[in-house]
């Protein structure tokens, strides 16, 4: 069992107890435990199996330690089962809706008997929610919007949610001797921000035995179908997996077909028809039904006179024309990124110290790290004794001097005021290498005013970047209403970078806007938004988004070595 899976038991328990109105200290203890487990470098399953005394770890008391042992050994937590019985089975779904926390869920359940998203939708449509104390017409509208959005997208999995299951299943399949080639295809291979299901493709000496092995994976909840060459299962987290075995001769064709996207496949098939050929998952065939390609994807693209198209680009958004003309972008690679340009520390919303973060990025071989803790925390008692801003700048300066192998950029993330001004004194801004601005509130301004507000902030001479530029949260919240074309044009004009963050449910900018930014000549920066060392890996998800957005290394600030980066950041010199 992974740490994340163990942590989930405690999170659910914390949420249910809060809906119940239980003792806040107990609730906090469960949540702290969840966080400790999730972010720990230790493998808790291993620790339990080795008989290690877990109560020695921070935030883990004896009672929690016992519960962890119970989860690891039985796969269950009896306390959670007990509390679950007091509620309708789907009550925790309510928390997936933007604007509903445990307190509101409790009110909705106690006063209107709402125990599922269905109930919630009905109550909102019947305008019953606005009558409750603590709710009004606006919250009711927001809730209804949230339910509709969730129903539309919520059955999809965030890439980062599917990834650990995909990897574990991949490793499990790889162990089977009969399997030779193996790829997770579909939207997962295209690195889409959400995936509907996994599509796995293999070649095997023994398809029947391979199917037995596949359905024997230990995280299978249900075997939907099992055949000679294809099977479908549902994993315990409800993620569906389609698995197919094909021959070596048609592996490339099958890989191309099942990688998709569907519009990309259709466009290729159309090209084939024009040449009098036929394309399907078995190969490319000429007029006489002779196989003319199919072993590899490269072979297929070559046959059509195209350059190889990376999976991230296969969306029928112009990649086919570009491949025919030899004009595909040279997509940015992970090792081109020299450092993370947006991390937090305990100076604001992070849970690890600057030093711990620096140690962690050193281990991953980065050349620099940019902290951008939040202005509201840093300026909370500015000018008084124990000034947090002073402490922050001093610590970052000291770390920069102490660690010779890594440069540290001092940053601040400022929430833009309603009128577009920045709530920080001008003279303070000169202390920072990175001045980030972001929209934190007034999400419901109309498009014109929201756009004007952001443009005002971008025009500020000290500003380096606009962070999480659209404010969306995947499956939970559409971004604010804003004219992104104008924001992007202004970013290019004022030499303000646009962030692509790697937080699994934000990934903001998305692929379409990232490409629009590149085309407009704006620079982008990739970040993890890490609040602790564990989350530094989120940068990979930002990289996926960048590649889906057709970005090359030269479009991205953090591919620059430190010296050139600081020059690029110093405005006017770029």
Residues that bind ligand DGT (CB under 6 A): 186-187, 192, 195-197, 199, 257-258, 260-262, 265-266
**CA-CA distance, 376 to 379, in Å (whole number)?**
5
Residues across the chain: 574
Neighbours of 81 (CB within 10 A): 9
Q: Note the Cα 22 to chain centre separation in Å.
A: 32
Q: For binding to Ca ion (CB under 5 A), which residues are involved? A: 186-187, 197, 199, 242
Q: Which residues contact 104 (CB under 8 A, 6 or more apart)?
A: 94, 134, 135
Residue placing its CB nearer to ligand DGT in the complex, 76 or 262:
262
Neighbours of 427 (CB within 10 A): 7
Residue placing its CB nearer to ligand DGT in the complex, 40 or 187:
187
Helices and strands in the chain: count of H runs, count of E runs: 24, 17
CB of 312 to ligand DGT, least distance (A): 12
Burial class (CB in 10 A: 0-12, 13-18, 19+), 520: middle
Q: How crowded is the C-beta side of 62, counted as CA atoms within 13 Å?
A: 0
Residue placing its CB nearer to Ca ion in the complex, 187 or 559:
187
**CA-CA distance, 228 to 230, in Å (whole number)?**
6
Residue placing its CB nearer to ligand DGT in the complex, 161 or 552:
161
CB of 156 to ligand DGT, least distance (A): 6
Residue placing its CB nearer to Ca ion in the complex, 93 or 197:
197
Cβ-closest residue to Ca ion? 186
- Residue 3, binding choice from Ca ion, ligand DGT, none, Cβ under 5 to 8 Å by partner class: none
CB of 423 to ligand DGT, least distance (A): 41
CB of 178 to ligand DGT, least distance (A): 24
Residue placing its CB nearer to ligand DGT in the complex, 265 or 345:
265
Give me 32's structure tokens.
């702290």
CB of 256 to ligand DGT, least distance (A): 9
DSSP alpha helix (H) spans, 419-538: 426-429, 447-458, 484-494, 511-519
Q: Which residues contact 42 (CB under 8 A, 6 or more apart)?
A: 3, 57
Query: For residues 376-385, b (16+ Cβ closer than 10 Å) or e, as one string?
Result: ebbbeeeeee
Residue placing its CB nearer to ligand DGT in the complex, 123 or 200:
200
Residue placing its CB nearer to ligand DGT in the complex, 194 or 527:
194
CB of 33 to ligand DGT, least distance (A): 34
- Residue 45, binding choice from Ca ion, ligand DGT, none, Cβ under 5 to 8 Å by partner class: none
**CA-CA distance, 490 to 488, in Å (whole number)?**
5
**CA-CA distance, 307 to 322, in Å (whole number)?**
9
- Residue 277, binding choice from ligand DGT, Ca ion, none, Cβ under 5 to 8 Å by partner class: none
- Residue 265, binding choice from ligand DGT, Ca ion, none, Cβ under 5 to 8 Å by partner class: ligand DGT
**Which whole-number Å values give the CA distances from 397 to 221, 376, 390, 410, 530, in the listed order?**
52, 21, 11, 8, 20
CB of 559 to ligand DGT, least distance (A): 29
Residue placing its CB nearer to ligand DGT in the complex, 268 or 337:
268
Give me 423's structure tokens.
């709530």
CB of 214 to ligand DGT, least distance (A): 17
Residue placing its CB nearer to ligand DGT in the complex, 314 or 515:
314
Cβ-closest residue to ligand DGT? 260
CB of 273 to ligand DGT, least distance (A): 12
- Residue 257, binding choice from Ca ion, ligand DGT, none, Cβ under 5 to 8 Å by partner class: ligand DGT
Q: Are 126 and 148 in contact (CB under 8 A)?
A: no
Q: Are 272 and 293 in contact (CB under 8 A)?
A: no
Residue with tokens 């398809």: 207
Q: Note the Cα 432 to chain centre separation in Å.
A: 28
CB of 195 to Ca ion, least distance (A): 6
**CA-CA distance, 65 to 29, in Å (whole number)?**
12
């Amino acid at each position: 069992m992974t740490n994340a899976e163990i942590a989930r038991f405690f999170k659910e328990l914390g949420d249910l107890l809060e809906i119940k109105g239980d003792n806040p200290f107990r609730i906090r203890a469960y949540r702290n435990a969840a966080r400790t487990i999730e972010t720990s470098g230790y493998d808790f399953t291993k620790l339990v199996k080795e008989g290690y005394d877990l109560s020695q770890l921070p935030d883990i008391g004896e009672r929690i330690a016992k519960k962890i042992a119970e989860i690891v050994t039985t796969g269950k937590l009896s306390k959670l089962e007990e509390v679950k019985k007091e509620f309708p089975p789907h009550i925790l779904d309510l928390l997936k809706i933007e604007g509903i926390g445990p307190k509101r869920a409790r009110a909705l359940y106690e006063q209107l008997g709402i125990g599922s998203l269905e109930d919630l939708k009905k109550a909102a449509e019947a305008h019953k929610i606005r009558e409750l104390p603590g709710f009004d017409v606006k919250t009711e509208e927001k809730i209804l919007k949230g339910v509709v959005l969730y129903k539309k997208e919520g059955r999809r999995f965030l890439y980062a949610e599917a990834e650990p299951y995909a990897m574990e299943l991949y490793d499990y399949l790889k162990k089977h001797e009969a399997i030779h080639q193996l790829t997770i295809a579909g939207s997962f291979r295209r690195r889409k921000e959400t995936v509907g299901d996994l599509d796995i493709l293999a070649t095997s000496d023994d398809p029947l035995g391979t199917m037995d092995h596949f359905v024997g994976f230990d995280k299978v909840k249900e075997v939907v179908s099992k055949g000679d060459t294809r099977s479908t299962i549902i994993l315990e987290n409800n993620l569906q997996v389609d698995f197919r075995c094909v021959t070596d001769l048609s592996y490339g064709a099958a890989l191309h077909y099942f990688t998709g996207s569907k519009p990309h496949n259709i466009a290729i098939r159309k090209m084939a028809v024009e040449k009098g050929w036929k394309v399907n998952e078995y190969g490319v065939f000429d007029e006489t039904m002779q196989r003319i390609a199919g072993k590899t994807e490269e072979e297929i693209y070559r046959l059509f006179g195209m350059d190889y198209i990376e999976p991230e680009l296969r969306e029928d958004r112009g990649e086919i024309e570009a491949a025919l003309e030899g004009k595909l972008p040279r997509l940015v690679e992970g090792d081109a990124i020299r450092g993370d340009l947006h991390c937090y520390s305990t100076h604001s919303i992070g849970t690890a110290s600057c030093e711990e973060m620096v140690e962690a990025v050193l281990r991953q071989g980065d050349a620099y790290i940019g902290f951008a803790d939040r202005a509201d925390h840093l300026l909370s008692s500015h000018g008084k004794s124990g000034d947090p801003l002073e402490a922050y700048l001093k610590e970052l300066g000291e770390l920069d001097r102490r660690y010779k192998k890594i440069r540290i950029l001092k940053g601040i993330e400022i929430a833009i005021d309603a009128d577009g001004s920045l709530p920080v004194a001008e003279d303070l801004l000169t202390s920072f290498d990175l001045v980030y601005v972001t929209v934190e509130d007034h999400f419901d301004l109309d498009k014109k005013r929201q756009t004007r507000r952001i443009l005002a902030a971008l025009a500020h001479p000290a500003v380096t970047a606009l962070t999480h530029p659209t404010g969306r949260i995947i499956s939970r919240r559409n971004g604010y209403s804003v004219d992104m074309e104008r924001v992007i044009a202004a970013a290019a004009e004022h030499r303000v970078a646009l962030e692509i963050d790697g937080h699994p449910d934000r990934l903001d900018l998305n692929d379409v806007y990232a490409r629009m930014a590149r085309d407009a000549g704006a620079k982008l920066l990739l970040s993890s938004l890490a609040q602790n060392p564990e989350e530094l890996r989120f940068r990979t998800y930002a990289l996926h988004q960048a590649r889906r957005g057709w970005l090359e290394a030269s479009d991205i600030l953090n591919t620059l070595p430190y010296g050139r980066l600081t020059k690029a950041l110093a405005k006017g010199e770029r």
